[in-house]
Structure 1
């Protein structure tokens, strides 16, 4: 196995295990991972329209509508009419969503602390810098047309 494929597999495995641990700790709240992601993104972009949120989450709008319907029925989000365009609904968290967000954030912090248990602050900072740099490289590569992305 090459170093490149090993790095990808380890990164994938770490992300999968962090999700698994997070999901296990949050199971009592009765939300799916997809619903947690909606809450998280919506907390940073309240007032966004449904298509915009679907784009941020990288899901199809029809998939998001089903999630939003369930979350609205549970009283976690509300859809408000757009002030000037009746075709759009704007999305907002309800007051009952905020305790869940706090819970989610504390479990996320616990999961991160477990994953980084024996890292020094310097190691943590260095890892963060490397991963951010990798993300920037990949964002740049993803923005290139396919023929430019493969040339190199």
Structure 2
């Protein structure tokens, strides 16, 4: 049988592998921190996207949330249903587009989002404290993501 040849000596020499491992570790830490307020990290991302978009508009649609969070529309729909069931958001008919619904944070949703932001900030600070230059790391990540 022919041997498989990798372009590195060990997995830790691969930037892709390291990024994947780091991302998985970070997501686990975020989920553990957010479970205190009964949120998953993905639910937080969708709530945060909605909160951010509502700063600029009173008519935020599911499509805008998906686009802003760079998340699959079907997944956003499923998460929004859960958030609605948990009374963190509500959906209403769009004033001009009969095909669309607008999504709003409820008062409970605003309170939970604010708590989640505080939890997430503390958790991020702890996680990234191992870096010698977090600001530069952020700049390098922005180069990759194009932001």
TM-score by length of 1: 0.74
Superposed displacement of residue 31, structure 1? 2.1
Q: Given the alignment of the two structures, is residue 19 of structure 1 paired with residue 19 of structure 2, yes or no?
A: no
Count, aligned residues:
135
Match of 1:15, SS state, is helix
For the aligned residue pairs, the C-alpha RMSD in angstroms reads 2.5
Where does residue 142 of structure 1 map in the other structure? none
Q: How does 1:3-82 map to 2 (within 5 A)?
A: 6-46=14-54, 47-82=59-94
TM-score by length of 2: 0.77
Where does residue 3 of structure 2 map in the other structure? none
Of 125, 129, 133, 2:139 maps to: 129
Partners of 2:136 and 2:89 in 1: CA distance: 38
Query: Kindly tell me: are residues 117 and 131 of structure 1, through their superposed partners in 2, closer, same or farther at Cα, counting changes over 3 Å?
Result: same
Q: Structure 1 regions of 5+ residues with no counterpart? A: 140-152
Q: Structure 2 regions of 5+ residues with no counterpart? A: 1-7
Partners of 1:135 and 1:35 in 2: CA distance: 22
Where does residue 85 of structure 1 map in the other structure? 97
Q: Which has a greater percent of helix?
A: 1
Cα deviation 1:119-142 (Å, max 9, x = unaligned): 45xx22222222222222xx8xxx
Match of 2:103, SS state, is strand
Partners of 2:93 and 2:66 in 1: CA distance: 17
Partners of 2:131 and 2:74 in 1: CA distance: 42
